[in-house]
Structure 1
Amino acid sequence: MSERKILTREQRRALLSTPAGWLACGFGSGLAPVAQGTFGSLAAILPWLLLRQLSWSLNLLVIAIGFVIGVWACDVAGRKLGVDDHRSLVWDEFVGQWIALLPALLAPWWAIVIGFALFRLFDVWKPWPIGYLDRHLKGGLGVMMDDVIAGLFAAVVLKLVLMYA
């Protein structure tokens, strides 16, 4: 089955019929007709605002758990859709965005905007090794890894911006 940009009604139903599918599509944010990654990244900011209240170490724990669960959920959902990394699978954006925003935990509000923009830049641009991982890793791990690295790139740049702002 080739990747379709917009899911059919049956694919939507199949995706939302399981906890893995519901999570993988970012609680529905990945079902937007366009810019699914952007909608997923925006939706990720809402729970991050709660995570922001936690310590650095608890944030890292939540991200690690989110990654492991995401590998499973995106693998299950991808197999259900018949597409390894369908655009509607945006849990990877949640985890990547949370990583990108780590330097913003104690920063002013504008750091959230910059962290969001940087993550979207690296996720879309896919410089090495992000693009390599996106093309060569398959299954749930492949869905998740490129966004984790994009989040790390964005976090490093955001940290530099905050250091010199």
Structure 2
Amino acid sequence: MTAARLVATLGGVGLLRPGPGTWGSALVLPLVLLGPLPCLVLAALVTLAGFWAAPRVLKADEDPGWFVADEGAGMLLALAALPAPSWIGVALAFVTFRALDIAKPWPVSWADRQTGALGVMLDDLVAGAIAAGALLALQLLWPGALG
């Protein structure tokens, strides 16, 4: 397996069935233990790696299920919104991110329609940012709600 394919599949996790995007999102969940700033830095690194890998492994306007670097980056963005790890916070981040990624409401759907590596990566980054915003809003409205 090439380096680009390893990045794209997050070490092969994207080849798991069913639901490779869910597996890719779940893979990064333990990283919440590192804290918000490391999750944000890792989200940026996975994003850069995904943008590097995409043109090397994908055909034009292709977004196959096995490409899960985008899910890892988006999930890390959502996890970065948690002030401290808790099972409630991680579960809410995971469910919110996956729901947005699967349902693709606007602006996630707009991002998904972009072409090339931008479209592959951007929809999950937008979903992760929206999930993070929702988690931050929940914390403001209901302090202590996330554990």
TM-score normalised over the length of structure 2: 0.86
- Whether the 8 Å contact between 1:75 and 1:141 is mirrored in structure 2 is no
Q: CA RMSD in A?
A: 1.8
Unaligned runs of 5+ in 2: none
TM-score normalised over the length of structure 1: 0.78
Decide which of 102, 110, 116 is 1:132's aligned counterpart. Answer: 110
Show CA shifts across 1:10-67 (max 9, x none): xxxxxxx211101101211111232111111111213x24xx42562x4433322221
2:91 alignment partner AA: V
Larger Rg computed on CA atoms: 1
DSSP-derived class of the 2:64 partner: coil
Say if 2:127 is the partner of 1:150. yes
Amino-acid identity (%) = 32
**Structure-to-structure mapping, 1:10-159, within 5 angstroms:** 17-46=1-30, 48-49=31-32, 52-53=33-34, 56=37, 58-79=38-59, 84-135=62-113, 137-159=114-136
Unaligned runs of 5+ in 1: 1-16
Stretch of structure 1 that moved more, 32-41 or 105-114: 105-114
Point out the structure with the larger helix share. 1
- Whether the 8 Å contact between 2:8 and 2:53 is mirrored in structure 1 is yes
**How many residues were matched structurally?**
142
1:149 alignment partner AA: V
